Every structure is written in C-alpha cells, then in structure tokens.
Amino acid sequence: MRTTSATFEELQKRVPGMGSDPASVRRRIEAMEGLLERMFVVPGLNRPVGLDVMLDLIPVVGPAIAAVMGSWLAWEARNLGMSKWQMTRMFGNVGLDLLLGAIPFVGAIPDFFFRSNSRNLKMIKRHLEKHHPAHVTIDGVVNR
C-alpha cells in the first residue's frame, strides 16, 4: 500500500538543492553565508552586513541564534566528508564569534570585522576544490 506522502528521498529528487551531493551542499552553504554575512551593504561604509551582526544587537538570545545558524554551516560541511580537524576549526570560529557577540551591544563591532561564517565558507571551498573538483564553481557556474 502506497501513501500519498513523499519520503525524504523522493522530496530530495523533486526539490533542487535538497540533496547531499557536493553541489547541493555548496548552494545551501553559500546561501546561508550570504544571509548571515552579506545581506545588505551599509551606506557610507560600503561594507556588507548580515543577520549575524544584526542579531548581536539583541542581548544574550541574538548571539546564541547566530551561533546556531553558523553551526549549521559547519554541520553541513560534514556531508562533504571534511576532517574532524577542519570541523573543529569551523566550530571554533563559531565559538569565538559567539564569545565576541556575547558582549551586549558592543559585541556587534568585532563581529562586523570577524566573519566566522565567511571563514568557514572559505574552508569548505578549499575542501571542495581538493576533494570534489567536478563541483568547483567558476564565476557562479558549476563545472560538471
């Protein structure tokens, strides 16, 4: 007897970017990094700012939410087979970002300069170039 509800595997096939292949993981990670670090540009400073800096303006809860979202990036990297050392470094970046952001209101200033999610994305891209060269992007186009 077949039910009308789709299994997770069927859903992955239907919805682009839901898979665990390197290209899908990369798209999700780049989208989250853009949301957290480069959502809009601050006028006058010409510097991108994202949800990570804005959440630091909410005492206690904001930096914790940003850390959870940043940890998701590191967790997704696990789907790419990154080493435990790389994962530790990524979670360390998120932890340092959490500590800096924990200072009420002032914590947004160091977070404006220390972009843990961008650092983690660079690590993931280096891993992709080395271990999954078929999914390296050149000017936003995936090589296959």
Q: Model confidence over 38-47: pLDDT tens digits?
A: 998 988 988 8
Q: Is residue 141 part of a domain?
A: no
The one-letter amino acid code at 113 reads F
Residue with more model confidence, 9 or 102: 102
Q: Is the pLDDT of residue 123 over 90?
A: yes
Distance CA 120, CA 42 (A): 23
Q: State whether the Cα torsion 55-68-76-4 is positive or negative.
A: negative
Determine the average pLDDT of the residues in 10-25.
Answer: 65
Residue with more model confidence, 135 or 141: 135
Q: What is the pLDDT of residue 47?
A: 87
Q: What is the pLDDT of residue 12?
A: 53
Q: Is residue 1 part of a domain?
A: no
Q: Is residue 105 part of a domain?
A: yes
Q: Is residue 8 part of a domain?
A: no
Q: Is residue 68 part of a domain?
A: yes
Q: What is the pLDDT of residue 120?
A: 94
In terms of residue numbers, what domain contains 36? 22-136
Residue with more model confidence, 111 or 118: 118
* Domains of the chain: total: 1
Q: Is residue 9 part of a domain?
A: no
Q: Is residue 5 part of a domain?
A: no
Q: Is residue 7 part of a domain?
A: no
Q: Is the pLDDT of residue 18 over 60?
A: yes
Q: What residues contact residue 126 under an 8 Å CB cut-off, 6+ apart?
A: none
Q: What is the pLDDT of residue 6?
A: 56
